[in-house]
């Protein structure tokens, strides 16, 4: 019989059977194959440690190539420059830490630290945090019901084509989708707190400066004027 895992409860039961005077052959038959040598090792371990359980292995396996300080250096480098390739991390370790390690070692280090490969979110390098903070300060003077957020979205025949699919290894995931853009529609709408979506407009093609200014004048400003008239009427009704 090959090696198999024997539970600690079964080992305890085998020792109790042996204490009751049962033979080794009977214990082997009852427990499903505990041999005489296993009984001897279990009895010795119980006498030495007080338990039939094996001691937990410490330091098992090959020592890791990277120490904690080296792994921390890699993590700091990944936070500073998250778009580096694995071979670039390897060259930096060789240059600054004098550690020749493989790409797999670096990959496993990132996996253990919880770092995964993700799509890069692009941030504008021209962004000025001082100007952004000044904008937040100035916009914070207005009540929330004074603010309207505008956003634009477009749709054509290719919009609903899915980019990801499943296929067997070595085969492509193929699906027939339109390649011609066809009719393109653009929509812009405002979002006001407490009101939801307001002042929506759909045009064929894309918004230009003229059509967008027309949308602001005829839809957004007129809607705000109507709201102000309604609020003034509501206030006057209580006077």
CA 177 to chain centre: 30
User: So where are the chain's domains?
Assistant: 8-49, 68-112, 144-158+182-239
Neighbouring residues of 70: CB distance < 8 A, sequence distance ≥ 6: 93, 97, 99
In contact, 189 and 199? CB cutoff 8 Å: yes
Task: List the beta bridge partners of residue 191.
Answer: 149, 197
Residue 202: its H or E element: strand 196-204
> What is the C-alpha to C-alpha distance for residues 10 and 168, in angstroms, rounded to an integer?
45
According to DSSP, residue 145 is labeled: G
In contact, 204 and 185? CB cutoff 8 Å: yes
* Predicted local distance difference test score (pLDDT) of residue 103: 92
Instruction: Match 């749709």 to its residue by tokens.
Output: 155
Strands (E), 88-195: 148-155, 185-192
* Predicted local distance difference test score (pLDDT) of residue 30: 80
> What is the C-alpha to C-alpha distance for residues 152 and 207, in angstroms, rounded to an integer?
9
> What is the C-alpha to C-alpha distance for residues 134 and 131, in angstroms, rounded to an integer?
5
Work out the angle at residue 180's Cα, subtended by the Cα atoms of residues 178 and 184, and round it to the nearest 5 degrees: 105
> What is the C-alpha to C-alpha distance for residues 102 and 83, in angstroms, rounded to an integer?
18
Instruction: Match 């006498």 to its residue by tokens.
Output: 47
Give average pLDDT by consecutive 10-residue segment, the chain, 239 residues.
Answer: 72 86 83 82 84 74 81 91 91 90 91 88 84 90 84 81 77 78 86 83 89 88 60 43
Q: Which residues of 11-29 are buried (b: 16+ CB within 10 A; e: fewer)?
A: beebbebbeeeeeeeebbe
Closest CA relative to residue 36, chosen from 58, 14, 4, 21: 14
The CA radius of gyration of the chain, in Å to the nearest whole number, is 36
């Amino acid at each position: 019989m090959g090696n198999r895992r024997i539970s600690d409860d079964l080992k305890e039961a085998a020792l109790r059977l042996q204490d009751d005077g049962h033979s080794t052959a009977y214990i082997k038959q009852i427990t499903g194959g505990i041999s005489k040598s296993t009984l001897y090792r279990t009895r010795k371990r119980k006498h030495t440690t007080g338990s039939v359980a094996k001691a937990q292995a410490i330091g098992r396996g090959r020592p890791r190539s990277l120490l904690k300080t080296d792994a921390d250096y890699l993590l700091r480098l990944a936070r500073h420059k998250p778009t580096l390739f694995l071979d670039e991390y390897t060259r930096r370790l060789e240059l600054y830490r004098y550690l020749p390690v493989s790409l797999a070692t670096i990959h496993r280090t990132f996996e253990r630290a919880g770092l995964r490969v993700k799509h890069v979110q692009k941030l504008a390098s021209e962004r000025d945090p001082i100007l952004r903070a000044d904008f937040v300060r100035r916009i914070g003077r207005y009540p929330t019901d004074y603010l309207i957020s505008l956003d634009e979205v477009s749709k054509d025949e290719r919009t609903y084509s899915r980019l990801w699919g499943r296929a067997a290894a070595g085969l492509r995931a193929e699906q027939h989708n339109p390649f011609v853009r066809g009719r393109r529609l653009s929509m812009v709408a405002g979002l006001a707190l407490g009101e939801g979506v307001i002042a929506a407009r759909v045009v064929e093609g894309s918004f230009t400066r003229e059509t967008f200014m027309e949308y602001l004048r005829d839809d957004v400003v007129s809607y705000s004027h109507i709201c102000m008239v309604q609020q003034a009427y509501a206030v006057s009704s209580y006077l």
